[in-house]
Amino acid sequence: MIEGRCACGTVSYKLTAEPMIVHCCHCSWCQRETGSAFVLNAVVERSAVEVSGEPELVMTPSASGKGQEIARCPACRVALWSHYPGAGRKAAFLRVGAMAEPDACPPDVHIFTSTKQNWVALPEGAKAFAEFYNPAEVWPAEMRSRWAAMMAAA
């Protein structure tokens, strides 16, 4: 079972399903918002995230102009997950670094590598895309089915 929490422990979570995919996003917006060279996001249905505590949802700007909503601890302000406009609050893009065992969620795919830091070396054979990608070509069929079911749910 995957668990995570903020730095102070005010907000924690447990997953009831494995992530559909783990993105390592190298876009300049993620670099700015995290203060790091990239962000690791494990994508899962929001309904599969059992939360203890009440995160604060903070809207931040994005390259698309549609913004993203970041779930942060109201006490220590650590980012726990994001919601993006395409999926709304149906999907949670969990920050892998906030997990108890982040090694359990290595990246499946590297995205927006056109803006990655030059000193970041991707592993040989890693799936990598200059921008985004076609999920039909990257996601396993079972995970695409889960995404479709999530999006179709009320």
Predicted local distance difference test score (pLDDT) of residue 148: 97
The CATH code of the domain at 3-152 is 3.90.1590.10
Structure tokens at 10: 């005010």
Cβ(130)–Cβ(150) under 8 Å? no
Burial class (CB in 10 A: 0-12, 13-18, 19+), 96: buried
Domain ranges of the chain: 3-152
Q: Do 30 and 111 contact (CB within 8 A), yes or no?
A: no
Contact 78, 96 (CB under 8 A): no
Residue 90: Cβ-neighbour burial (10 angstroms; 0-12, 13-18, 19+): middle
Give the CA distances from residue 60 to residues 67, 82, 87, 88, 99, in Å, rounded to whole numbers and listed in that order. 5, 10, 16, 14, 22
Q: Show the tokens assigned to 111.
A: 């995205």
Q: What is the pLDDT of residue 62?
A: 80
pLDDT of residue 89: 95
| Other Cβ atoms closer than 10 A to 43 | 23
Averaged in consecutive runs of 10 residues, what is the pLDDT profile of the chain (154 residues)? 97 98 95 93 98 96 85 98 92 98 97 97 97 95 97 89
